[in-house]
Chains A and B, each alone.
Chain A
Amino acid sequence: MTRRVAVTGIGVVAPGGTGAKAFWDLLAAGRTATRGITLFDPEGLRSRIAAECDFDPLEHGLDPELSRHADRYIQFAVVAAGEAVRDSGFDVGQENPWRVGVCLGSAVGGTTRLEHDYVLVSEGGRRWDVDHRTADPQLHLAFSPSTLASVVAAQFGAQGPVQTVSTGCTSGLDAVGYAFHTIEEGRADVCITGASDSPISPITMACFDAIKATSPNNDDPEHASRPFDANRNGFVMGEGAAVLVLEEYEHARARGAHIYCEIGGYATYGNAYHMTGLTSEGLEMSRAIDGTLDQARLDPTLIDYVNAHGSGTRQNDRHETAAVKQSLGEHAYKTPMSSIKSMVGHSLGAIGAIEVVACVLALKHQAVPPTANYETPDPECDLDYVPRTARPRKLRNVLSVGSGFGGFQSAVLLTGPGGRTR
């Protein structure tokens, strides 16, 4: 007997607004949250723009200890998890804590703090033999990527399997996928899952400068992130977090929880091709889509919306368009496919989870979020990218796909009420 997995709570910290409502308002309006970087002085960088979160931890009820000391990406995650847990009505005090897990993704973890403190102990980058005497006594928390899941698990009383997932830019999708498997296979009944990243830092901006992956549209940041547009020239860095409460279906029903939708399937494959490069055929991503649909025994023609990775790099958008056509065939041309990175940027590991939450909200509101800034068609990207404004549509089966450095290709299927065929 297969265990079904329900989404019963969502929370999000995204550029443009904190909380699921503000997030959906931004997407529905097709508003962009990209701007010149304010978190540090970006002078000298090739790409000096990003989608930043205007985030005040105390305003969101974060406890003062975490507000003062925790890394920004941890704060995002705790706030998003708090919203998701409240939304689900789930009370760990009423549950067996050994059956509650946490599975959170992050691509770069505590590196923003690591860089900040590195500057202090190295005399501004002059010393290899760094001076430990001036180091922050909490620095191990930035060093260890598992701090993310550990802090969230401790906050919410989870004692089951607790994992941090770090598969680069698919971390968010993979964390949701691992959590889905954890419940499906019976290792937990509830899993707090999602992802968080705060990568707007000199080293992360500089390393993407070095490979020209980010957009240099510094003079027009609001229109800089242009997925699928012929004039796209790289992604715009973002930050944020999204968290979902996943729950075994009968467990959710038994406590009378509101069920947004179900996770219908998940698959991931490696492209074994290049750490940063993508083929123009997208066969491995297509394989991930096929694997996801196989699990749900869903015919590809029943997909109603594809939430794209759509980073806005030349190669990604071509790769992804080819992959979706490979898997959906002629149906691809009739299926809206959009990229919310046009509005909230690319928050590396976090974005996969933010996009899954966007799909949950799309199902809830029965509307497809748009691709902002889409103006000029590219002959190599010839699908329906939902230009500029959200579109009402009957949605049952929604697919979210992602692709990342290291060759990871992942897909997650969400099925709303009336979804699937069986």
Chain B
Amino acid sequence: MSTQRPRRAVVTGIGVIAPNGLRADAYWKSVREGLGVLDRITREGCEHLPLRVAGEVRAFDAADLIEERFLVQTDRFSHFAMAATVLALDDAGLGAVDPEEAYDIGVVTAAGSGGGEFGQRELQKLWGQGSRFVGPYQSIAWFYAASTGQISIRGGFKGPCGVVASDEAGGLDAIAHAARGVRRGTAAMVVGAAEAPLAPYSMVCQLAYPELSTVEDPDRAYRPFTKGACGFVPAEGGAMLVVEDERRARDRGAAVRAVVAGHAATFTGASQWERSREGLAHAIRGALAEADCAPEEIDVVFADALGVPAADRAEALAIADALGAHGTRVPVTAPKTGIGRAYCGAPLLDTAAAVLAMEHGQIPPTPNVFDICHDLDVVTSNARPAELRTALILSRGLMGSNAALVVRRGGDLAR
């Protein structure tokens, strides 16, 4: 132990359950091609609502990956999270946990909407039939901690377990939480977020968000950074990652996919989009400082891209404020315009896309977005080949949080 270099947290596994692809490879193919999958909502009971377009996860059968006994006691949001975890662990080459090692692996998820569909069903039983009809799983399916608990139990992970029930930016906070856990001594963390906000009552709640797009044409409903910006489109799904101590990853011969290098979070008030300029810029500077990264080193920005004109302007200005002249030159992308915003799951999907983009040397495009009206180099139409060593991922929440995350390509690390 002669070298006292701080422990580095690296990404060794990616599991994705997204509207445009189940598994990381299918997701990347759709993202790279700029495939837009926003469509009419088909979830039962939602047809009459004024929100017509969303990013739905279709052709997903949780039973392909998760045992029935876990499925009956959980909501769709936990089905996504458990399935994405299976894929991430498989991707990382982590098999069944050795009981000796159980305390070395923790779990942290971000959750912004909970088990809404399960909860609505039980509310219907309670109020339609009576309290004796409420089932035994309501107490463990509806609450925000359900996914972390079930992932821990199913995997045998006894390490630090956590849940940040924050707004969208909480997805990046969860990744940072996991990286800190690794730096503090936990060998590996299963981390991520998946949401299922498309149940009827959950959607009624979301209708109150002034930022929501109610445009009915899927190709025009979510177009940030353009004159046609009219709000955001919600989505379901998300991603789980394995974030691991670099030394342990190397010792077991795992591929080091990326380094979680820096993060910072700020708060500037719910729907205070003009003020988010300062908050986001401050978060970017903080993340760069923690990553020991100069603005010029950022090769690509995965934007928050809310699609609200004031918010888009604030983000463009924040990038310029924090990155200086480089801010107008650095390529910016927002693959989420093709799939919608899966609340806390959205920045996880962006982080997964950033790692895959660095590996493939390609910046994915921003579907449905043309004619940029801000001073940003937004990648549109087709993927752009580029040497990508460092990516910046941005996220803002509807309740006022701003967060920035810097990730670096794994292959560039000195041993």
Interface set of A (CB-CB < 8 Å, partner B): 44-45, 98, 102, 106-109, 111, 114-115, 118-119, 121-122, 124-126, 128-130, 132, 135-147, 149-150, 153-154, 158-168, 174, 178, 181, 185, 187, 202-203, 205-211, 213, 267-276, 284, 287, 404-408
Query: Contacting B131 at CB < 8 Å: which of A45, A98, A136, A164?
Result: A45
Please give, as numbers and ranges, the residues of chain B lying within 8 Å of A166 by CB-CB distance.
111, 143-145, 163-165
- Secondary structure of the B side of the interface? mixed
For the complex, what is the distance from the CA of A310 to the CA of B145, rounded to whole Å? 21
Q: Tell me the B121-153 residues at the A interface (CB within 8 Å).
A: 122-132, 134-136, 138-140, 142-146, 148-150, 152-153
For the complex, what is the distance from the CA of A111 to the CA of B141, rounded to whole Å? 13
Q: Are B267 and A159 in contact (CB under 8 A)?
A: yes
Please give, as numbers and ranges, the residues of chain B lying within 8 Å of A270 by CB-CB distance.
106-107, 148-149, 152-153, 157-161
Asked, given contacts A107-B143, A135-B207, A206-B134, whether A269 binds B161 with beta carbons under 8 Å apart, the answer is yes
Asked, given contacts A98-B282, A114-B205, whether A275 binds B140 with beta carbons under 8 Å apart, the answer is yes
Asked, given contacts A118-B123, A129-B45, A269-B159, whether A407 binds B149 with beta carbons under 8 Å apart, the answer is yes
Query: Contacting B399 at CB < 8 Å: which of A146, A185, A408?
Result: A146
Known pairs A111-B119, A165-B164, A268-B161; list 17 more (Cβ under 8 Å): A98-B266, A115-B123, A121-B204, A130-B200, A140-B205, A146-B112, A146-B401, A150-B267, A150-B400, A153-B267, A159-B267, A159-B268, A163-B164, A174-B162, A207-B138, A210-B138, A275-B73
Minimum distance in angstroms from A135 CB to a CB of chain B: 5
Asked, given contacts A125-B128, A144-B167, whether A405 binds B205 with beta carbons under 8 Å apart, the answer is no
Count residues of chain B with CB under 8 A from any CB of chain A: 86
Name the CB-closest residue of B to A185. B180
Asked, given contacts A159-B267, A163-B166, A267-B160, whether A206 binds B131 with beta carbons under 8 Å apart, the answer is yes
Number of A-B contacts (CB under 8 A): 270
Please give, as numbers and ranges, the residues of chain B lying within 8 Å of A128 by CB-CB distance.
44-45, 120, 124, 200
Q: Are B139 and A124 in contact (CB under 8 A)?
A: no
Q: Tell me the B287-309 residues at the A interface (CB within 8 Å).
A: none
Q: Are B126 and A405 in contact (CB under 8 A)?
A: no
For the complex, what is the distance from the CA of A210 to the CA of B137, rounded to whole Å? 8
Q: CB of B65 within 8 A of chain A?
A: no
Query: Contacting A130 at CB < 8 Å: which of B45, B148, B397?
Result: B45
Q: What per-residue 1/0 map shows which CB atoms of B183-226 lie under 8 Å from chain A?
A: 00000000000000000111111111100000000000000000
Minimum distance in angstroms from B195 CB to a CB of chain A: 12
Q: Are B145 and A406 in contact (CB under 8 A)?
A: yes
Q: CB of B331 within 8 A of chain A?
A: no
For the complex, what is the distance from the CA of A218 to the CA of B167, rounded to whole Å? 39
For the complex, what is the distance from the CA of A272 to the CA of B149, rounded to whole Å? 8
Q: Are A159 and B279 in contact (CB under 8 A)?
A: yes
Q: Are B140 and A287 in contact (CB under 8 A)?
A: no
For the complex, what is the distance from the CA of A206 to the CA of B126, rounded to whole Å? 8
For the complex, what is the distance from the CA of A336 to the CA of B399, rounded to whole Å? 43
